[in-house]
């Protein structure tokens, strides 16, 4: 049983859309893209939208949309279609199957042999136009939507993107269903997702986020109304700030408003250059005990990949966290970055060792292989599994001497992600 659900009755002439998250529900339930489409479609009088996950729900509509957040989820496409008795090959099925999400925006050609069309950009801008053009005459429908900006119909037009210009003009997904008895796998807990901005103003060379329509913010007035309406409807006492970098010009006022309503909140990732003592104190008052930051690598290489933050800024951040008695600081790093060598790794290890020594709170270190993404400034860099493994071992030896442990994501999985991200035509079975 879930709450809150949008209840709609079947009637003659109504159409249905299945929005599919091709992985487990405990992650997909918090996916804002799924929630946007669920709310958007169900608010159109002659449409019903159902959510389907890898482990829950059933594909049963004639119009089926997949959202791909991670490239390895591609492999779940044939599994889910087969389970529903739907052909993977688009020429063999009567249903219309489409896809959207970050992976599609970055590389629409990967799935083009299986998808009838792909949505590139913001759902609020594109999906209503698609539904308005819908007809069960598949060729006629695809021809019609091929003229909509942001809709890529392989064989009929070329890829293009369409983005919302003003977030205040778009409806917010207030209905955010979660199980009434929430299993422990749901890591964000019984929380309401609050998107205060979209996009990122920083142009790190490894990140695809700046490619997605630029920075757009919601007004403080609109955000306050969303908080009031969303908390009342969902009956929740916690908010997750859904943002890439939380650079909103009135970010402190947003947190103060949440505090005034006695609402707990969590800011998933923090830019140290924007985090003064007042900002961190507000976060602490909101009930957050862990701070997450991403130094990525040593200072010299950090600047080369477009992240212009000095080591000293991170150390000052640690001092502020110590003063406010946070429980833990999580730091994320990468290996396999173009130009990374033993000197870079030694400096990175020295940075981590100093951070460990300074920390009066717990320090969690995560090291991930760098996966070049299409469209970014570093997209042409080739993933080399041998180099990544060598660098991981070198770093482990350095930090092991300082009795510092850290977790490394599997290099095989990272290589698979890189291959999938850059494939021009995926072959699935």
- For residue 100, which of 20, 175, 209, 213 has the smallest C-alpha distance? 20
How do residues 288-325 score in pLDDT, each as one tens digit?
999 999 999 999 999 999 999 999 999 999 999 999 99
pLDDT at 211: 63
The token duo for 98 is 């489409």
Instruction: Read off the DSSP letter of residue 377.
Output: T
Length of the chain: 429
Burial (0-12, 13-18, 19+ Cβ within 10 Å), 175? middle
- Please give the span between the terminal C-alpha atoms of the chain, in angstroms, as a whole number: 34
The token duo for 119 is 């949505």
Q: How many CA atoms lie within 13 A of 268 on its CB side?
A: 13
Q: In this structure, how many other beta carbons lie within 10 angstroms of the beta carbon of residue 60?
A: 14
| pLDDT average, residue stretch 272-289 | 96
pLDDT: which is higher, 422 or 9: 422
Q: Per-residue pLDDT for 277 more than 70?
A: yes
pLDDT at 322: 96
The partner residues of 118 in beta bridges, in order of sequence, read 99, 152
- For residue 255, which of 234, 273, 274 has the smallest C-alpha distance? 274
| pLDDT average, residue stretch 194-216 | 87
| pLDDT average, residue stretch 273-288 | 97
Q: Which of 26-40, 204-218, 280-294, 412-426 has the lowest average pLDDT?
A: 204-218
SS3 424: coil
The token duo for 236 is 């929740």
Q: Per-residue pLDDT for 210 more than 70?
A: no
Average pLDDT, the chain: 95
pLDDT at 368: 95
Instruction: Please state whether beta strands 290-296 and 216-217 pair in parallel, antiparallel, or not at all (unpaired).
Output: unpaired
| pLDDT average, residue stretch 23-42 | 97
Whole-angstrom distance, CA of residue 317 vs CA of residue 399: 22
Q: Please, are residues 377 and 343 in contact by the beta-carbon 8 Å criterion?
A: no
| Domains in the chain, CATH or no CATH each | 2-152 (3.40.50), 191-286 (3.30.750.210), 289-429 (3.30.750.200)
Helix axes 342-358, 385-401, angle to 10 degrees: 40
| pLDDT average, residue stretch 396-425 | 90
E strand or H helix at 216:
strand 216-217
Q: Per-residue pLDDT for 268 more than 90?
A: no
Residue 233 CB partners (closer than 8 Å, separation 6+): 4, 174, 175
pLDDT at 269: 86
| CA distance to 30, 73, 373, 384, per residue, from 415 (Å) | 27, 14, 12, 8
Q: Per-residue pLDDT for 401 more than 90?
A: no
pLDDT at 9: 83
Q: Please, are residues 321 and 329 in contact by the beta-carbon 8 Å criterion?
A: yes
Q: In this structure, how many other beta carbons lie within 10 angstroms of the beta carbon of residue 415?
A: 17
pLDDT at 10: 81
Instruction: Please state whether beta strands 2-3 and 178-179 pair in parallel, antiparallel, or not at all (unpaired).
Output: antiparallel
- For residue 208, which of 374, 420, 31 has the smallest C-alpha distance? 374
Tell me: cis bond preceding 272? Omega within 30 of 0 counts.
Answer: no
How do residues 115-152 score in pLDDT, each as one tens digit?
999 999 999 999 999 999 999 999 999 999 999 999 99
- For residue 70, which of 413, 332, 319 has the smallest C-alpha distance? 413
Whole-angstrom distance, CA of residue 352 vs CA of residue 343: 14
How much is the pTM?
Answer: 0.95
């Amino acid at each position: 049983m879930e709450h809150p659900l949008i209840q709609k009755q079947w009637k003659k002439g109504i159409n249905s859309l299945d929005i599919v998250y091709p992985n487990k529900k405990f992650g997909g339930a918090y996916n804002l893209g799924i929630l946007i489409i669920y709310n958007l479609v169900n608010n159109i009088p002659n449409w019903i939208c159902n959510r389907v996950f890898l482990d829950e729900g059933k594909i049963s509509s004639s119009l089926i949309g997949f959202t791909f957040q991670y490239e390895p989820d591609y492999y779940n496409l044939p599994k889910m279609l087969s389970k529903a008795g739907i052909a993977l090959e688009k020429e063999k099925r009567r249903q219309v199957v489409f896809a959207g999400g970050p992976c599609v925006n970055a590389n629409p050609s990967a799935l083009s042999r299986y998808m009838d069309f792909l949505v590139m950009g913001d759902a609020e801008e594109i999906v209503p136009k698609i539904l308005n053009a819908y007809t069960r005459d598949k060729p006629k429908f695809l021809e019609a939507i091929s003229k909509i900006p942001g809709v890529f119909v392989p064989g009929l037009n070329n890829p293009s993107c369409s983005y919302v210009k003003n977030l205040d003009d778009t409806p917010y997904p207030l209905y955010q269903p979660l199980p009434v008895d929430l299993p422990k796998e749901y890591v964000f807990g019984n929380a309401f997702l609050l998107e205060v901005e979209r996009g990122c103003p920083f142009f790190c060379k490894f990140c695809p986020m700046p490619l997605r329509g630029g920075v757009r913010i919601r007004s403080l007035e609109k955000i306050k109304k969303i908080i009031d309406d969303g908390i009342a409807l969902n009956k929740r006492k916690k908010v997750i700030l859904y943002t890439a970098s939380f650079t909103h010009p009135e970010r402190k006022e947003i947190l103060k408003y949440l505090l005034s309503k006695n609402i707990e909140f969590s800011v998933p990732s923090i830019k140290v250059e924007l985090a003064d003592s007042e900002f961190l104190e507000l976060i602490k008052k909101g009930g957050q005990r862990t701070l997450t930051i991403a130094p990525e690598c040593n200072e010299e290489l950090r600047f080369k990949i477009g992240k212009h933050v000095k080591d000293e800024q991170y150390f000052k951040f640690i001092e502020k966290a110590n003063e406010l008695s946070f429980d833990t600081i999580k730091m994320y790093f990468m290996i396999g970055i173009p130009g990374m060598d033993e000197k870079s790794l030694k400096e990175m290890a020295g940075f981590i060792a100093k951070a460990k020594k300074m920390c009066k709170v717990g320090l969690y270190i995560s090291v991930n292989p760098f996966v070049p993404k299409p469209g970014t400034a570093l997209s042409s860099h080739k993933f080399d599994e041998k180099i990544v493994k060598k660098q991981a071992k070198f770093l482990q030896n350095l930090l092991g001497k300082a009795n510092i442990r850290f977790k490394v994501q599997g290099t095989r999985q990272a290589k698979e992600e890189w291959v999938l991200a850059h494939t021009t035509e995926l072959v699935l079975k």
